[in-house]
Amino acid sequence: MHSSFMTMDNLCQAKHGRESSGNPKHLIAVCQMTSTADKDENLKTMMDLISKGSKRGAKMVFFPEACDYIAESKAESLTLAEDLDGHFVQQCRKAAMVHNVWLSIGGFHQKSKAAENVAKIINTHLVISDQGQIEATYAKSHLFDLDIPGKIRLCESDYTVPGQKITPPVPTPIGRVGLATCYDLRFPEMSLALAQGGAHILTFPSAFTQVTGKAHWETLLRARAIETQCYVVAAAQTGSHNSKRSSHGHSMVVDPWGEVLAEAPEGPGLCVAEVDLGCLTKVRTDMPVWQHRRPDLYGRVGGGGAGCISPDDESSYQFGHVTISSAQVFYRSNLSIAFVNIKPVLPGHMLISPIRPAETLADLRPAEVTDLFMTVQRVQQVVMQHFGASSATVAVQDGPEAGQTVKHVHIHILPRKKNDFSDNDDVYDELQNHDKGWNPDTKLRSEEEMSKESEALRAYFAKSL
């Protein structure tokens, strides 16, 4: 049995040969249940586990799939289902406030309001804040269907509406949490998309069967942690729910190096572990797989983006010899940033650069090239919309003879309007000379002005999540 008290200090030292990050560590509690069709009893168990997790000092408590109930038939399940504002969720919200903890309600049976799906439920994963607010929902998207004629039919799609989108990673006190549910674990593309969207932690609340759990549960959880370099938190159902169904259990926390930090014993209860984002950063720094990916060969998972990372994750960014305040950065991906200009050629003149210092395009790795130009595409659309432009000039000044004055490859986006230059090619002369010959009298924009513009642009990306 894995100890639930192994700390990330020990892990960083043992596996990476370095001292602990010194960053704050946050305790989480991962719950294991044997849900039945008795909703009141299940809720009572949850309230007890929330209380125990809070007393242990957990900042966030994770529950398994179907923590509200596991019914014996489709008809019974439909009868027991509730709305998002029903009694079950309301009690969870109250408990979060009373115990001052965040909750991952790994899956409750939500009534479907769509007429065509009135005889089905939505397997909904909720994140509830310590203020009792529903911060995010995710509808399970991969449904387990097994139909062998004459032998067995177990089709989740018979009674569940599949989700249609990935929920962007949710900011919480323990880090950004990427939401998935049970069978989603078998699809690494989803985990990679969530990591690409900025997740620190992936959570897979589950009700794995005894057979599949014994064969694949730990292997899949560790694989998802290693390939995404995220923590993986998996609250699980355990034991016999009724005469037809039983679950594997073994709720687990895995660190970004693939080590199992905690595993629940048999039966209902909880295990605890510490999350240290400083250790996560060290793993990603020492094994920079995100920079080494080859999307030019096999495409980019999550190409549309499940969301962008908060620029404020860092207080500042280095752009050649210039330090850029995070307040001036309005978009950040894993590998690129977009920021406002201190001396724009035209209103809306923005800059985009890779986060890793690189002087020329040739210095970029394939993943960085892909990410850089996907960022350009996304930012260009927003900038044109915000500034009411009908066209855009997109330019790379690659080297000093091309007008580059900052030794950090970057791309200019200039929203264009009719007759903004008498001769269109004048824009390139302006670009080449706009940051040369500065003196004390040169008019530059204030930090306040740039921050205000950045804030307005950030709002567009917040809406698109």
Catalytic position from the list 410, 412, 434, 453 = 410
């998002």: which residue's tokens? 84
What is the CATH number that goes with domain 311-464?
3.30.428.10
The burial of 117, by beta-carbon neighbours within 10 Å (0-12 exposed, 13-18 middle, 19 or more buried), is given as middle
Q: For residues 412 and 129, what is the distance between their CA atoms, to the nearest angstrom? A: 40
Residue 39: active-site member: no
Contacts of 464 (CB under 8 A, 6+ apart): none
| CB 206 within 8 Å of CB 234 | yes
Indicate the SS3 state at residue 393.
Answer: strand
Helix H or strand E segment including 145: strand 145-148
Residue 182: active-site member: yes
Q: For residues 71 and 37, what is the distance between their CA atoms, to the nearest angstrom? A: 5
Model pLDDT, residue 58: 98
Residue 410: active-site member: yes
The reported pTM is 0.84
In 3D, which of 241, 265, 263, 269 has the Cα closest to residue 34?
241
Which of the residues in the chain have pLDDT under 50?
A: 1-21, 304-306, 464-465
Residue 140: active-site member: yes
Q: For residues 175 and 181, what is the distance between their CA atoms, to the nearest angstrom? A: 19
Catalytic position from the list 26, 59, 140, 349 = 140
Domain coordinates in residue numbering, the chain: 8-286, 311-464
**What 8-state DSSP symbol labels residue 67?**
-
Model pLDDT, residue 45: 98
Model pLDDT, residue 304: 47
Handedness of CA 311, 314, 316, 318 (dihedral sign): negative
Catalytic position from the list 26, 65, 250, 263 = 65
Candidates 3.60.110.10, 3.30.1330.100, 3.30.70.260, 3.40.50.970; CATH matching 8-286: 3.60.110.10
Q: DSSP labels for 428-443?
A: HHHHHHTTSS--TT--
Catalytic position from the list 31, 182, 271, 279 = 182
